[in-house]
Amino acid sequence: MTVLRETGMKQYGPDKRRMAMFLCDYCKEEFELRLDRGIKQQSCKACIGKVKTTHGMAGTRPYNIWQGMRQRCINPNNRKFHLYGGKGIIVCDHWQTFEGFWEDNEKYYRDDLTIDRKDSNGNYEYGNVRWIPQRQNSSETTKRRPVVQMTKRYEPIKTWESAKYASDELGITAAHITAVCRGDRQTHGGYRWEYVS
């Protein structure tokens, strides 16, 4: 489910729990729930029992890729939302369910490949995605996107023309810089990194 915003702490027995407002992906209703529970559930209480997972692939790498793709586009609390949903990039209607996504992508998927948009300003939809090696994805990204080098407190140090330029100058790995920019790592080379938006 989509986390909309945290709403503070609430007493649960002897403990206090972090609460949040969630958006049910099925009925599109907002509701409050413990944060630790909501991020594990697939639907609101009203939809439990109505929702049937027929693909049997929850928790697999393809399912996690699909979830990550959607969260970048619909969840304002996702750290990469400003690069995707915040720029108007969406997931097409057919891919709003994992079944639709997998129907179009199963024949192209391999464990050593990652999803990539051909047009980085275009949507996640059939015809604008491809499955390529992670190293190629990182390499192509490093060639075309400027990055900001920052302290661990997010204070800007320098803007680089690309992760490749930064890696060559600083003697670190370009693919790890882009991994930080994607949110897959926290830091690299002792710095935080972000794409220039």
The residue-averaged pLDDT of 161-189 equals 87
- What is the pLDDT, as a whole number, of residue 89? 92
pLDDT at 142: 47
pLDDT digits (tens, 9 = 90+) for 92-101: 999 988 899 9
> For 100-159, what is each residue's pLDDT tens digit?
999 999 999 998 888 989 888 899 999 999 998 876 665 455 456 899 999 988 899 999
| CA dist., res. 106 & res. 131, Å (int) | 10
Element of type H or E holding 135: helix 134-144
SS3 call for 149 = strand
Tell me the average pLDDT across 12-18: 80
Q: What proportion of the chain, given as a percentage, has pLDDT over 70?
A: 88
H-only helix segments in 55-129: 61-74, 98-105
Would the pLDDT of 187 be above 70? yes
Residue 50: predicted pLDDT: 56
At residue 26, does pLDDT exceed 80? no
If pLDDT is split at 50, 70 and 90, which confidence band does 24 have?
confident
Cα angle, residue 83 at apex, residues 147 and 193 outer, rounded to 5°: 30
Mean pLDDT, the chain, rounded, equals 83
Weakest-pLDDT range from 48-62, 114-128, 182-196 = 48-62
Structural domains of the chain ordered from first start: 2-47 (no CATH), 61-136 (no CATH), 145-195 (1.10.10.10)
Q: Looking at the predicted structure, is the pLDDT value of residue 13 above 90?
A: no
